[in-house]
Structure 1
C-alpha cells in the first residue's frame, strides 16, 4: 500500500497581551528539511512512525514565550508554510505543531488564521492534527479546522514530547480509516493562570490524571483539557474540553462530564507554591539561611516570567534587591538574580575586564511601565559569549548579589542555565529568577520556595491587568447565578453535527 503523505508545519509562541516585547525574526529559530525531521525523535530512521508514513518537512518556527509577533514576521512565515505545502503536492495529513496562545499584531486569532491558510492549500479531505500546550486557547475557527486536536496533560510540561508523539500516532491511525473522526467540544467559562492550575497539586492533578484512562474507553481516540492562557486578552481565552473518537454518544458524555468536573472544582484552584510579596519572599529566604537549612531558597519573580510571556527586562525586583543592605552588605547571602537583558548595557560591560569595578544602567529598555532602568555598581565577576538565546552574558557582584545581565531575552529555568555561566544554584543561599511555578530541575533542588507576586506583563493578579475583550461572564471575574451551559458541540470535518452552529467565534 502507498504510505500516507504527511506534511509537518508549525509556528509556536505563547504571547502575553501585556508584554511590551514584540517577537521578531531573532526570537524564532527556523527548521526545515532534515533538521525539522530530526526535531522529532519518534521520526528517527527505523522508528515505527517514521516507517508508517512519508513525512514531508515543510517549515517550523518556535520561540520562547513573549509578546505579540510582528505582523511582517508572521506574514512571512505563513507564506513560507503555504508555499511549502503547495510545492509538496497532494497531502493526506498535516502535523500542525503549534502552541495555541500565539498573538500577532493586528490579528485576533492567529492560530485560527494560520490553520485556515493551511486548510485552503491541503483541501477539506486532509486530516490535521495539532499537539498543543494545555495553556493554549481554542477558538471556534481552530476547533472547526482541526480533525485531531490534543494537548499536554502535565504542567510543568514534562509530557510535551509524549504528547507530540501521541498526536502523530493518532494521525497515522486515522489516515488508515475511511472516515473522519468526530470531536465533542465544550467551552468552559474559566480563565486562570498556570500557577493556579499546575498538575502538581489539586484539583488539576486529579482532573488531568484521569485522562489517560478515559482515553482507553471504546469509542474514544484522544482527548484534551485546555485550561487556557490567561495573559492574552481575546475572545478565545477560556478553558476547553475536546474529545475525539468515533462514538458520538461516548465522546459527548465524557466531554461534558470532564467540563462539569472542571467547573465544579473552580473555587479549589490555588497557587502551586507558597505565594507572597517580594518582601515576604526575601524575609523567608533570609530566615531559611539563618536557620542553617540546606541551600538554596528559590524565589519566583513571577510577574515578568519569560516562560509565560513576560518581556524579560522588567527591573522592579532587581531594583528592590539592590536596595536591600542585607543582600549587599557584609556577610550577605549569596543571591543569584536572573535576569535582565540590555544590548546597550552589554556593550558597555564588555568594554571592561573581569575583576573591574563597573557602574552600568540596565534593563527596562523594552518594558519600563512598572520600573525604570536599574543602576548596577559592583564587580564584574564573569563574561560569557555564544549562548544561542542570550548572546553575551555578564555576571556582576554587588555584595552577595550575583546579577545576571544578558544581551537578549533568556529564561533561566534550568540549573544548566546557571552552570553554563559558572554559577552553581545548589551553592547559593537564594536564587531569584523570572519564573512562575518551578520547572523540574529547579523544583528538584529547591529547599524552600516563595512564589513572589511581583508586577509585570504576566502579573498573577489578572484583574489588575484589566482584561477587556474576553467573553463575559467568566470565572473568576464574574459571579454565576446558575451553572453555565456545558453541553458539547459535535464536529466532523469542519461542520457541526450538533451545537454551536451560528454562534460567534470564541
Structure 2
C-alpha cells in the first residue's frame, strides 16, 4: 500500500501588521480549524474547504494509507513567532522522520509566511522536510493564491499547486489536485521540469478577485494551457504586504520537458503583464462609501455591501478599527450592520451587563493604527452569544467557528458584531450568530477584502470598497517598503523599488 505523510502549517504574514502570531494563536485557529495532531488530523480534515481535507478525501479514494503529523493555521497577522514556528515545524518534521516507510509527502502550506527569524517560512519548512526524506521522495504542496513564492520553495518541492479562486472556494479542490499530481509522479517515477517566473509589479489584493476581470480571464486561459505536456500550472498574484525579497506575483509550471514548462510559464507571464493597467479600481473614503450606500439603498431591494478592506483580519488587520463604524453613525445610517469588531473586553462587559442593558464602551481601536482610536459611545446590548456556530457558506465551507463571547450592540440605526477572537467576516452566519439577519439590512460593512464575496455577492445589490485606517493599505505604494527585490514596481504602473538599506538577514 502507498503510504503518504501529510501535514499542514498555514500563515499569511503582513510584516506591517500590529500583532504577531503566537503558538496559542495556532492552537485556536482563528477561523481555521484548531490545531490537530496525529490521528486527530484525519478526523478534523473532512468535508471542509481546506487543502488538506481535499487531499485526504482523494488519497483515501486512491487507497493510500496516510500518516498524519500536525495541522495548524492562524489568522493572518504580523510575523510568526520563533517559538510557534519551531514547535510546529519540529512536530511536523519529527512525525515524518518517525513515519517508517513512506512513498511521498504532501503538505498544505500558505506560501506567504514570514517568521521572526526567517523571511521565507515555507522555504525553510520545505528545506527541513527535504533533508529528512532525501532527494528522491516526491514532495508536493498546495499553496494559497496569495503565496509569495521563492526560488527556495521551488527548489525543494517536486510540485507546488496554488488555489485559482479568490474568494478561495477551491482550497479543498487544490488538495485534490495535489493528490492527482502526486499519483502521476508515483506512477511515472519521473520528475517533471520546473519553470518559475517572478513578475515585475505588486498587485493590490482588492483587484485580485477572480470573479472579475482581469483575473477571471487569466485563470481561464491558465486552465486551458494544462495538458499532458504541462500537467499543472499556477499563477499566484502574491500577498503584497510582506517586506522581503520574494514578495509579489509569480508563475510556476511543471512540464514533461523544460521547453514545455518554459513555454507555458512565459505565456501566462505575458498575459498578466498585458493586464497591468487593469489591476486597479475605485476605492471610496468611509464617508463617501457610506453616503453612496445610503443613496443606493433608497431604491435597492437587497443590501449594499461594503468591504472595510484595510482592516481585513484575513490580511493581517486586527479587525478592531472604528473608521467605518464612525462613518455609519456620523451619517445617520439606518438598518446598517458591521463586524466583526475584535474586542474581548467590550464583549466581556456586554456579557456582564446582559441583554437589554445600556453600556458605555471604548469599543475597538486598540491596535495602535494611525488615524484610529477606541470609539467611546453608549450602546444597547441586543443579543449575546458564546461564539460557537457553523459557517456553511462557500468560503469557510462548513467549518466550526469559535468567536468567543460575542455581542450584538446597537447605536442608533447601526448594529455592531463584537467578538473575542478574530476571523474575517466572510459568511452570513457571522451576523446571524448574534441575531442579525443580513437580508434585512440596508447596508452591511464587512471586515474583509474579497473573501466575503463568496457568500455575500449573491445577496448584494451593490458591492463597494472603502479605505478606513487599517493595517492593510489598499494602495500598496503607501507601505514603507525596505526589503523588496530591486526594480519591482510597488503598484501596477507605479514606481520601481530602490533599496535604501540592506535587507534583514534571513535566519
**TM-score scaled to structure 2, two decimals?**
0.88
Deviation at 1:19, TM superposition (A): 1.2
Which residue does 1:115 correspond to in 2? 126
Q: Distance in 2 between matches of 1:450 and 1:479?
A: 23
Q: Distance in 2 between matches of 1:369 and 1:480?
A: 24
Matched, 1:398 2:408: no
Which residue does 1:35 correspond to in 2? 40
Deviation at 1:294, TM superposition (A): 0.9
Deviation at 1:160, TM superposition (A): 1.7
Go from structure 1 to structure 2 and tell me whether the alpha carbon gap of 1:372 and 1:94 turns closer, same or farther (over 3 Å shift).
same
Task: Supply the RMSD in Å over aligned alpha carbons.
Answer: 2.2
Q: Distance in 2 between matches of 1:19 and 1:83?
A: 31
Which residue does 2:239 correspond to in 1? 229
Go from structure 1 to structure 2 and tell me whether the alpha carbon gap of 1:411 and 1:26 turns closer, same or farther (over 3 Å shift).
farther
C-alpha deviations, 1:206-234, integer Å up to 9, x for none? 11111222112x31111111111101111
Go from structure 1 to structure 2 and tell me whether the alpha carbon gap of 1:44 and 1:134 turns closer, same or farther (over 3 Å shift).
closer
SS of the residue 1:75 aligns to: helix
SS of the residue 2:488 aligns to: coil
Deviation at 1:480, TM superposition (A): 9.6
Q: Distance in 1 between matches of 2:133 and 2:368?
A: 41
Which residue does 1:373 correspond to in 2? 374
Unaligned runs of 5+ in 1: 328-332, 483-503
C-alpha deviations, 1:30-68, integer Å up to 9, x for none? 1233332241555668x6744442211111102232222
SS of the residue 2:191 aligns to: coil
Deviation at 1:478, TM superposition (A): 8.7
Which residue does 1:448 correspond to in 2? 462
Matched, 1:299 2:309: no
Question: What does 1:401-440 align with in structure 2 at a 5 Å threshold?
Answer: 401-437=414-450, 438-440=452-454
Deviation at 1:369, TM superposition (A): 3.2
Which residue does 1:352 correspond to in 2? 353
Which residue does 2:332 correspond to in 1? 326
Q: Distance in 2 between matches of 1:363 and 1:268?
A: 35
Q: Distance in 2 between matches of 1:213 and 1:479?
A: 28
Q: Distance in 2 between matches of 1:366 and 1:398?
A: 22
Contact 2:11 2:112 in 1 (8 A): yes
Which residue does 2:288 correspond to in 1? 280
Deviant stretches of 4+, over 6 Å? 478-482
Deviation at 1:476, TM superposition (A): 4.5
Contact 2:78 2:316 in 1 (8 A): yes
Q: Report how many aligned residue pairs link the two structures.
A: 471
C-alpha deviations, 1:257-299, integer Å up to 9, x for none? 211121122122223xx53111111111111233x32131111
SS of the residue 1:337 aligns to: strand
Go from structure 1 to structure 2 and tell me whether the alpha carbon gap of 1:80 and 1:204 turns closer, same or farther (over 3 Å shift).
same
Contact 2:286 2:323 in 1 (8 A): no
Deviation at 1:381, TM superposition (A): 0.6
Which residue does 2:275 correspond to in 1? 265
Contact 1:197 1:270 in 2 (8 A): no
Deviates more, 1:36-45 or 1:458-467: 36-45
Q: Distance in 2 between matches of 1:88 and 1:370?
A: 52
Question: What does 1:181-200 align with in structure 2 at a 5 Å threshold?
Answer: 181-200=192-211
Q: Distance in 1 between matches of 2:22 and 2:361?
A: 27
**TM-score scaled to structure 1, two decimals?**
0.88
Contact 1:92 1:125 in 2 (8 A): no
SS of the residue 1:10 aligns to: strand
Matched, 1:249 2:253: no
Unaligned runs of 5+ in 2: 27-33, 48-53, 389-400, 497-504
Question: What does 1:109-148 align with in structure 2 at a 5 Å threshold?
Answer: 109-148=120-159
Query: Which structure is larger by alpha-carbon Rg, 1 or 2?
Result: 1
Q: Distance in 2 between matches of 1:26 and 1:280?
A: 39
Q: Distance in 1 between matches of 2:86 and 2:39?
A: 24
Q: Distance in 1 between matches of 2:130 and 2:365?
A: 41
Go from structure 1 to structure 2 and tell me whether the alpha carbon gap of 1:43 and 1:465 turns closer, same or farther (over 3 Å shift).
closer
Q: Distance in 2 between matches of 1:366 and 1:72?
A: 22
